[in-house]
Chain A
Amino acid sequence: METPATVHSDIDDSSLPDDVAHLAGRWDEALTAAAVRARGLRQTLAKYRRDERRPWFDGAEP
């Protein structure tokens, strides 16, 4: 699992999903680390989504 080396402070209340907005304040460190991890996953997925036409998606050797 990816753990951010530093906790960023660029997550504010307005960017929090509704499900966890009420945690802002007391749980900022956890929310920030989670947001950073999710962003990293999204960026990696995006990199491979662009590669969906690679031949191994048809079962061929990568």
Chain B
Amino acid sequence: MTSLTDLSLRAARDAIADGDLCPLEYLDALLARIDAHDASCRAFIAVDAERARASAWQRKRDWRKGELPPLFGIPFAVKDIIDVEGSVTTCQSDGGFTRPASRTASCIQRLIEAGGIYIGKTALGEFALGGTGKAWPLTRNPWNTSYTPGSSSSGSGSAVAARMVPLAIGTDTGGSIRSPVMMNGIVGLKPTFGLIPTDGVFPLAPSMDVVGPMARSVADVAMAFGCMAGGAHVGGADRAPRLGRIEHLWRSDLRPSPDMEQAIDRAYSDMVEAGATLEERRLPSMEMFSAVGWTTLFAEAFAIHWSRIADRPDLFDPSTLELLLTGAFVSAADFIAARDMRGGLAAALDHALQDVDALVTAVSALPPCRLDDADAMAALDKASTRVVCNVTGHPALALPVGLSSDGLPLGIQIIGAKFRERELLAVGEWIEGNLSAWNPTMAPPL
């Protein structure tokens, strides 16, 4: 028998809507799961059980047979860099953020208005950039708690994979949704820059910051995205898609592991066997995307944090401080050069998208590694292809395709045209439905 915590977002919502599942019973099953496993995963910074139960009671009272809002009775977690009224947004910083937020970020308010139930705040890399902060525990990967859960929306990824919540919200400035999505074997969408409002989200680099959903299937991500952006989910593609694969970004610009190559090659074979066409496409080099993206990110992040750095540098984790200080050494000429190059890089991506439904590439050239292996962690940082879409603003959907030889998830990202998330999600659902080495019911061995 399927446990309540194993239910997909859509299955739970349908069961609640049909009157087969009480929102309070569902919430209590998830809270019990958090009690049982968060001590080993450390996904949550704060769980507001009392408030969530009050919301679930309200949903129980509001239940009527017939039309209910799309997330009716669905608990969700929020990366602790996004404001929820009455909760402290710590940004996982030791910097003394103690005042509860006075209002809820629009992106979260939309989920609540769609019937969702806020359950608590999840862990992150400090300020969505750096280390864990001195006062905070290290979040772990539920597939193997000795392994990294990715960053910076680490707690959201770990919580969803560990079946503590069916949905969590993350932010993505340099890949921070797609990294934990791949490492934890779940699905996540980095939407088009500017599509979902970012008010109430503590900024990292405002010209690249986006907020997006993380769940366990493309359909579940699509349901949440529909609520955050407006509009309904359209379902999977009704024909096999035409795809452009971008191989050089990770096969030659970076150094992929054999595990990653085999997993992605197998996914390609699955797609072709199911009728998709795969054509080679090229972009400017990964090196150029990285230089443009990180120059932009460090300069903007330093501008946001410089007064805090001036006053109390000791309140930052040393790794965060070092990254933020990089922005102090970025000149105006560097920043403007990077800004100007972004237009050309976006045009190159638009060009690659011509005549195809989406582009496919790796999320990372390397699989998740052990947290205590500093060299492997440094190599993993440099193996990312994620910043490409932060530089250009295009939407990207990350989804798992299989497991590494260590039993850790591996994944791909598919990239679509700007503001065409619905088509991108439809392609993603089609791919997910045709994979031989992965399906959304696969779960970590907790």
- A: residues with CB less than 8 A from B are 1-3, 16-17, 19-20, 22-23, 26-27, 29-31, 33-35, 37-39, 41-42, 44-45, 48-49, 52, 54, 56-62
B330 at the interface (CB under 8 A from A): yes
Contact between chains at B325 and A34 (CB < 8 Å): yes
Of A22, A30, A56, the contact of B310 (CB 8 Å cutoff): A22
Indicate whether A56 sits within 8 Å of B328 (C-beta atoms), given known contacts A20-B309, A48-B341. Answer: no
- 23 A-B interface contacts by CB (under 8 A): A1-B382, A20-B309, A23-B313, A29-B322, A30-B322, A31-B325, A33-B325, A34-B322, A37-B326, A38-B326, A38-B328, A41-B298, A45-B334, A48-B284, A48-B292, A49-B341, A56-B344, A57-B344, A57-B347, A57-B348, A59-B347, A59-B348, A62-B284
Within the complex, the shortest CB–CB distance from A57 to chain B, in Å, comes to 4
- Output the nearest chain A residue to B129 by Cβ-Cβ distance: A1
Give bound CA distance, A52 to B338, whole Å: 12
Which residues from chain A contact B329 at a C-beta distance below 8 Å? 17, 34-35, 37-39
Which of the four size classes fits the interface of chain B?
35 or more
Which residues from chain A contact B298 at a C-beta distance below 8 Å? 37-38, 41
Contact between chains at A59 and B318 (CB < 8 Å): no
- B: residues with CB less than 8 A from A are 282-284, 287-288, 290-292, 294-295, 298, 302, 306, 309-310, 313, 318, 321-331, 334, 337-338, 341, 344, 347-348, 350-351, 378, 381-382
Which residues from chain A contact B318 at a C-beta distance below 8 Å? 30
Contact between chains at B321 and A45 (CB < 8 Å): no
Which residues from chain B contact A22 at a C-beta distance below 8 Å? 310
Indicate whether A62 sits within 8 Å of B283 (C-beta atoms), given known contacts A20-B328, A38-B330, A41-B330. Answer: yes
Contact between chains at B351 and A60 (CB < 8 Å): yes
Pick from A1, A31, A59 the residue with the most CB of B within 10 Å: A1
Contact between chains at A41 and B341 (CB < 8 Å): no
Contact between chains at B341 and A42 (CB < 8 Å): no
Pick from A30, A35, A57 the residue with the most CB of B within 10 Å: A30
Pick from B324, B337, B348, B350 the residue with the most CB of A within 10 Å: B348
Within the complex, the shortest CB–CB distance from B387 to chain A, in Å, comes to 10
Contact between chains at A49 and B328 (CB < 8 Å): no
Give bound CA distance, A53 to B284, whole Å: 13
Give bound CA distance, A29 to B318, whole Å: 10
- Output the nearest chain B residue to A48 by Cβ-Cβ distance: B288
Which residues from chain A contact B338 at a C-beta distance below 8 Å? 45
Contact between chains at A1 and B294 (CB < 8 Å): yes
Of B325, B327, B337, the contact of A30 (CB 8 Å cutoff): B325
Contact between chains at B310 and A3 (CB < 8 Å): no
Within the complex, the shortest CB–CB distance from A39 to chain B, in Å, comes to 7
Give bound CA distance, A2 to B381, whole Å: 8
Which residues from chain B contact A42 at a C-beta distance below 8 Å? 295, 330-331, 334
Give bound CA distance, A11 to B327, whole Å: 15
Within the complex, the shortest CB–CB distance from B17 to chain A, in Å, comes to 45
Contact between chains at A59 and B341 (CB < 8 Å): no
Contact between chains at B292 and A62 (CB < 8 Å): no
Give bound CA distance, A62 to B289, whole Å: 14
Give bound CA distance, A34 to B325, whole Å: 6
Give bound CA distance, A39 to B291, whole Å: 11
Within the complex, the shortest CB–CB distance from A30 to chain B, in Å, comes to 4
Which residues from chain A contact B344 at a C-beta distance below 8 Å? 52, 56-57
Give bound CA distance, A61 to B283, whole Å: 8
Which residues from chain A contact B302 at a C-beta distance below 8 Å? 19
Which residues from chain B contact A19 at a C-beta distance below 8 Å? 302, 306, 310, 328
Within the complex, the shortest CB–CB distance from A46 to chain B, in Å, comes to 8
Indicate whether A44 sits within 8 Å of B334 (C-beta atoms), given known contacts A2-B382, A30-B318. Answer: no
Contact between chains at B309 and A56 (CB < 8 Å): no
Indicate whether A44 sits within 8 Å of B381 (C-beta atoms), given known contacts A57-B344, A57-B347, A59-B351. Answer: no
Which residues from chain A contact B287 at a C-beta distance below 8 Å? 44
Which residues from chain A contact B328 at a C-beta distance below 8 Å? 16-17, 19-20, 34, 38
Q: A38-B328, A42-B330 are in contact. List 9 more A-B contacts (CB 8 A).
A: A1-B381, A19-B328, A37-B326, A37-B329, A41-B334, A42-B331, A45-B292, A52-B344, A59-B347
Of B290, B292, B325, B341, the contact of A20 (CB 8 Å cutoff): B325
Which residues from chain B contact A30 at a C-beta distance below 8 Å? 318, 321-322, 325
- Output the nearest chain A residue to B297 by Cβ-Cβ distance: A1
Within the complex, the shortest CB–CB distance from A20 to chain B, in Å, comes to 5
Within the complex, the shortest CB–CB distance from A7 to chain B, in Å, comes to 10
Give bound CA distance, A21 to B347, whole Å: 39
Within the complex, the shortest CB–CB distance from B301 to chain A, in Å, comes to 12
Interface pairs A-B: 7 shortest CB-CB: A38-B329, A34-B325, A44-B291, A57-B344, A30-B322, A34-B326, A59-B347
